[in-house]
Amino acid sequence: MSGSGNVGVHVDHNIQEDPEKLAEFQQKIDDGMLIEVDDWMPEAYRTGMLKMAEHHANSEIIGALPEGEWITRAPSLRRKLALTAKVQDEVGHGQMLYRVSQDLGKTRDNMLRDLITGKTKYHNVFNYPAPTWGDIAMIQWLIDGAAILNQGTLADGAFGPYVRTMKRINMEEAFHFKSGEDMVLTLMGGTMKQREMGQEAFDRWWYPSLMFFGPRDKPNAEQLPPMRWRMKTVTNDGLRQRFINRFAPAALALGLKIHVVEKDEHGMVTSKKPDENLRLNEETGNWEFTEPDWEEFFRVIRGHGPCNKQRLALRRLSYEQGHWVRNAILHGSKNLPPAA
C-alpha cells in the first residue's frame, strides 16, 4: 500500500543547471515522455525522485508490520492465507521500490540503515495502532483504497522506472482492496459484536486515511517542481476530495457512521460525535467534511505518534536479527555446492 508523493523537492540554487538542458528536460515532460535513469535530469530531480522512491519503499516494509502482527490471529484459513499473501505483496513492493532507488544511486543496506536510525521517514499512516481484527479490515479497505487512488495518479508521472513499478504494484493493490472490502462487508453484515468492531475500527482509521494524502496544498502547488516535473500529478487536496467522494457514501451505505473523533496518545478514540459538516454538495458534486486535525498530523510526522517507536523498534530488531544471516551469505567462506 502507501505511495508517497509528499516528499518535498529541495532545489539547491547553488547548483547551476544548464538552462538549455533544463528546458529540454521540461519539454520532454510536457510532451508526456518518460525520463529514464540514464537520461539527463536536474540534480534536484534525481535526489527528489530518489527520496520519493525510498520513502515509498520504506513505507511498504513498515506498512507490512501492523498487518503482519495479525497474520497469526486471522480468524479463518482463507483470511490467514489472504493476509499472509497481502503482507508478502507489500514486502515485494518494498523490494521493487528499493530497486528503483538503488538505480538512482543509494545502496539497499544504506536505505535500510537510514530507515531504522530515523534518518529517513516512512508514511505517517503506519504510526497508528491496529488493536483489533476490525482495524485489519479497515486498513485493507481504506488505506489500500487510498493507496490505489494515489498510486494510480503516480503511475501517470514522468519517471519511467517509478511509473512502471507503480503500474505493477497497483494491480496487486486492487486485490488487497477487494479483499479489504470483502472483510468490511462481512464484519458489517455480521453479528452485533462484529459490527461494533467494524465501527470502532472505522472511527480510528477514517481520519488517518484523510491525512494519508498529505497536508493541505500550498496555493501554487501546481507550479512547484514536484508537479511541474510530474513527480506527482494531482494535488493532495484533489486526491483527498476524490477519496471522500468515493468512500463517504460507500461507508454510509455499509451502515458505518462517520464521526469526528478525539484520541488519546495511544491513538484510541476517547470521544466522538457525528461529523456535522458531512454532506454532498449538489452543486459541486463534492462531499464536504470536517478537516483532519493537522496539528496531530505534524506531531505524528515529527515522531510523536502512537506507534512510531514500536514500528521502528520492530524494524530495527528484524534488521539486527538478520545481520548474521546476511553476513553468512556475503562472506560464506566456501563455495556452495548444489544441495541435491
Partner 1 sequence: MQSIPDNLKPPFTDLLLAIADDKLMLGHRNSDWTGLGPILEEDIAFSSLAQDEIAHASAFYELAGELLGTSSDELAFGRTPEEYRCAAIVEVPDDFDWASAICRQFFCDEYDMLRLKRMTISNYTPLANLAGRILAEEQVHIEHSEEWVVRLGRGTHEARQRMQKAIDRLAPIALWLFEPFDGLKSLIDAGLYPGSDFDMYDTWTTRIQDILEKAELTMHVEIGEPDDKGGRRGVHTEHFEPLLNDMCEVYRIEPGVAW
Q: Which of 250, 268, 139, 150 is nearest to 200 (CA)?
A: 268
3-state secondary structure of 75: coil
Identify which of residues 253 and 340 has a Cβ nearer to partner 1 in the complex. 340
Query: Does 329 contact partner 1 by CB under 8 A?
Result: yes
According to the binding rule CB under 5 A, does residue 1 interact with Fe ion? yes
Contact between 128 and 209 (Cβ < 8 Å):
no
Rule CB under 8 A: is residue 219 a binding residue for partner 1?
no
Site map 163..202 versus Fe ion, x via CB under 5 A: ----------x--x--------------------------
Half-sphere exposure of 123 (CA within 13 A, CB side): 32
Q: Which is nearer to Fe ion, 144 or 203 (CB)?
A: 144
Q: How would you classify the pairing of strands 259-263 and 287-288? A: unpaired
Euclidean distance between CA atoms 24 and 207, whole angstroms? 42
Nearest CB to partner 1, comparing residues 69 and 296 = 69
131 binds partner 1 (CB under 8 A): no
**Alpha carbon 286 to chain centroid distance?**
24
Instruction: Locate 15 and state its grid cell.
Output: 547548483
Nearer to partner 1 by Cβ, of 110 and 186: the residue is 186
Question: Is residue 171 close enough to count as binding partner 1 by CB under 8 A?
Answer: no
| 260 strand-pairing partners | 273
Q: Which stretch binds Fe ion (CB under 5 A): 54-62, 121-129, 184-192, 286-294?
A: 54-62
Residues 6+ apart with CB under 8 A from 26: 228, 229
Say how far apart CA 303 and CA 119 lie, in whole Å: 12
Q: Residue 171: which of 160, 158, 155 has the closest Cα?
A: 155
How far apart CA 258 and CA 206 sit, in angstroms, is 8
CB within 8 Å of 293: residues ≥ 6 apart: 207
Question: Does 56 engage in binding with Fe ion (CB under 5 A)?
Answer: no
C-beta of 336: minimal distance to partner 1 in Å?
A: 6
Per-residue contact track with partner 1, 56 to 85, x per CB under 8 A? Answer: -----x--xx-xx--xxxxxxxxxxx--xx
Choices 15-23, 172-180, 208-216, 327-335 (CB under 8 A): range interacting with partner 1: 327-335
- Interacting residue ranges for partner 1, rule: CB under 8 A: 61, 64-65, 67-68, 71-81, 84-85, 87-88, 90-92, 94-95, 98, 108, 133, 183, 186-187, 190-191, 193-194, 197, 314, 317-318, 321-322, 324-329, 331-334, 336-337, 339-340
Binding residues for Fe ion (CB under 5 A): 1, 60, 90, 93, 144, 173, 176
